[in-house]
Amino acid sequence: MIERSGSTVFAVDVGAYWALTDSTRLGWGSHAVRDSYSSVDAGDNEIGITTNHWLVGVSGRQSFGDDAQVFFGRADVGLVVTIVNARRTVDNVEIEIATESGFGFLTRAGYGFTASETLNIAPQLTFAGFSLPSGFNSSLEFGVSFTF
C-alpha cells in the first residue's frame, strides 16, 4: 500500500546570443528538464522514476521595449536527448529504462525589468515539445530568470 507519493520538476537554461539588431538576438540555447516521481510504501521502500530531457539547438530572441522594461519572445529548435531511469530502494537498485534522441522545440514569452544596474528579472512562460521515437512529450513551465 502506498503511504505517500510526490513529484518534483527542475529546469535550467544556458545560452549565448549575438545581436543582429537592437531588439533581435540569435545564438544557441540549451534547455534541460528533470521530472521525478516517487511513491513510498508503509515499509519506507521507495519506488520512483526520473525523466531527463535535454534540448540543444539554435535560439532566437526578440525584444519589445527599452532596456529597463521589456516584453520578449524566444524560440529554440534542435536536438533532444531523453533518459528515463527507474529506482527501487528495497534493494537499492537503479536501472536505465530508455535513452532516446529526436527533435525538439521551445517557445517562451516573458516580461523583464531592471532590478539594479547589474540585475534583470524576468517572469516567463515556456512551452517545450520533444518528438521522440516513442512519441511526443511536452511541458508547460512558469519560471523566473535572473540575468547579470
Q: Which of 77, 60, 58, 65 is nearest to 24 (CA)?
A: 60
Write down the residue that cell numbers 521522440 correspond to. 132
Alpha helix (H) residue ranges in the chain: none
Q: Specify the CATH number for the domain of residue 63.
A: 2.40.160
pLDDT tens digits along 72-125: 999 999 999 988 888 777 666 777 788 899 999 999 999 999 999 889 899 999
pLDDT tens digits along 100-111: 999 999 999 999
**Which three cell numbers, joined as nine digits, stand for 12?**
535550467
pLDDT at 52: 87
pLDDT at 72: 93
**Which three cell numbers, joined as nine digits, stand for 18?**
549575438
Q: What's the CA gap between 84 and 37, in Å, rounded?
A: 11
Mean pLDDT of the chain: 85
If one counts the domains in the chain, the total is 1
Q: Is the distance from CB of 87 to CB of 96 less than 8 angstroms?
A: no
Structural domain of residue 109, as residue ranges?
2-147
Model-level pTM? 0.76
